[in-house]
Amino acid sequence: MENLQGKTAFITGAASGIGLGIAKACARHGMNVVITDARQDALDEAITYFKEKNYPAHTILLDVTDREAYVKAADEAEEVFGNVHVLVNNAGVAAGGGPIHEATFKDWDFIINVNCTGVVNGIAIIVPRILKHGEGGHVVSTSSTGGIFAVTGSGLYNATKYFVAGLMETLACDLEGTGVGASVFCPGPVASNLGMSSQAVRPEHLKNENTSPPRIPKGVRPQRATDWSKHFMTPEEVGERVVRGIKRNDLFIWTHPEFREGIKARNDALLRAIPDEPINEKRAQVLKNFGTLTYNPIYEKQTTPGPLEWKPEEE
Ligand SMILES: NC(=O)c1ccc[n+]([C@@H]2O[C@H](COP(=O)([O-])OP(=O)(O)OC[C@H]3O[C@@H](n4cnc5c(N)ncnc54)[C@H](O)[C@@H]3O)[C@@H](O)[C@H]2O)c1
């Protein structure tokens, strides 16, 4: 989707962190932005930037797990700005840090509801509207580098982010030829408020009775998060990377070059896991009848973006 000028983006979890960075980048590229989030106080704070810059933006209080409210939010967005062109399923939470087998069902229910079902709701409610108006569009869903290879101690988070990656890779196939693109967005560490906001939005009935701090996994040096976060990427830079990905129609929007080794290790492991046996030619012929079952050309279209041309604005 090359020309974003005058188009409308609907972004979830957009009152803070990465979502807000994406909203700012969309506005800078001439889009109307619908900033939705489950926290009203964060929305009230977020909108001030857009008012100061005179950017067209509208806030809606929306919990992505609430389907009825989601439909109403989509209607409201259309009333305010007309057709929605870009959907960013960004709302996400963290829960159940530590070994997977020690997580509670409350941890599972909370994280799956937001990170998986919330994304499904966005796709089911907004994508048909984008297809219907026929003006083209794009869908981005926020996965993570942890949606591509395992991070010890973040099993629940990893599992939900793998879900998002698989969902979006297949959505990109489903949408081919429609003029609507789809991207899996895999940020590495970004300075944000994920720990705090995950606590704030967690419904009472899904809170654990005994909350002990998550155990620090092997190999991770205990240190104050603030010491690290100053080296994390900013939401503003990440937002620009997402906008570039939308314009390029990237299948994968990747932020951090530091993760190359991790991707390679996983992909190499998969290749090594293939039994060293000759192919059964008859079976191979039969499998070719199952569409993209053994090979999907969707992956061929991904090219390498160059360095990001962007400078932080004076704020
Ligand atoms: N920060 C990172 O390093 C990092 C890395 C990879 C992926 N991510 C992902 O990026 C996305 C944004 O997170 P962030 O790091 O910017 O954190 P953040 O807390 O700054 O932003 C997340 C926003 O989502 C909102 N939210 C949470 N649950 C919601 C719900 N049910 N409905 C609507 N809004 C809801 C929160 O209120 C918050 O404003 C998440 O999906 C997260 O998993 C973050």
Q: Provide the pLDDT for residue 292.
A: 95
Asked if 80 and 58 touch (Cβ cutoff 8 Å), the reply is: yes
- Candidate CATH numbers 3.20.20.140, 3.90.1200.10, 3.40.50.720, 3.60.20.10; the one for domain 8-301: 3.40.50.720
Q: Taking CB atoms and a 6 Å cutoff, what residues make up the pocket around ligand 1?
A: 12-13, 15-19, 37-39, 42, 62-65, 90-93, 114, 118, 142, 144, 187, 189-190, 192-194, 197, 201
Q: Provide the pLDDT for residue 215.
A: 62
Question: Helices 235-248 and 17-28 meet at what angle, rounded to 10?
Answer: 60
Q: Alpha carbon of 2 to those of 5, 171, 250, 311: distances in Å?
A: 9, 20, 12, 21
pLDDT per position as a tens digit, 276-308: 999 999 999 999 999 999 999 999 999 999 999
Q: Alpha carbon of 301 to those of 106, 214, 252, 304: distances in Å?
A: 40, 40, 10, 10
Kindly state the greatest CA–CA separation across the chain: 66
Q: Provide the pLDDT for residue 229.
A: 81
Q: For residue 213, what pLDDT band results from cuts at 50, 70 and 90?
A: low
Ligand 1 centroid, distance to 106 Cα (angstroms): 19
Q: What percent of the chain has pLDDT over 70?
A: 94
Arithmetic mean of pLDDT, 213-228: 63
DSSP 54-118: T--EEEEE--TT-HHHHHHHHHHHHHHHSS--EEEE--------B-GGG--HHHHHHHIIIIIIH
pLDDT at 216 over 70: no
Q: For residue 99, what pLDDT band results from cuts at 50, 70 and 90?
A: very high
pLDDT at 314 over 70: no
Ligand 1, closest atom to CA 113?
31
Arithmetic mean of pLDDT, 232-257: 97
Asked about 162 being catalytic, the answer comes back as no
Q: For residue 228, what pLDDT band results from cuts at 50, 70 and 90?
A: confident
Tell me which of 3-17, 122-136, 228-242 is least confident. 228-242
Q: Provide the pLDDT for residue 218.
A: 67
pLDDT at 225 over 60: no
Question: Helices 40-53 and 17-28 meet at what angle, rounded to 10?
Answer: 20
pLDDT per position as a tens digit, 55-90: 999 999 999 999 999 999 999 999 999 999 999 999
Ligand 1 centroid, distance to 94 Cα (angstroms): 8
Q: Which sign, positive or negative, has the C-alpha torsion 146, 35, 3, 125?
A: positive
Please state, rounded to an integer, the average pLDDT across all residues of the chain.
95
Q: For residue 210, what pLDDT band results from cuts at 50, 70 and 90?
A: confident
Question: Of residues 49, 157, 162, 299, which has the active-site annotation?
Answer: 157
Arithmetic mean of pLDDT, 235-248: 98
pLDDT at 222 over 60: no
pLDDT at 220 over 70: no
Q: Provide the pLDDT for residue 313.
A: 80
CA distance 40 to 46: 10
pLDDT per position as a tens digit, 164-209: 999 999 999 999 999 999 999 999 999 999 999 999 999 999 999 9
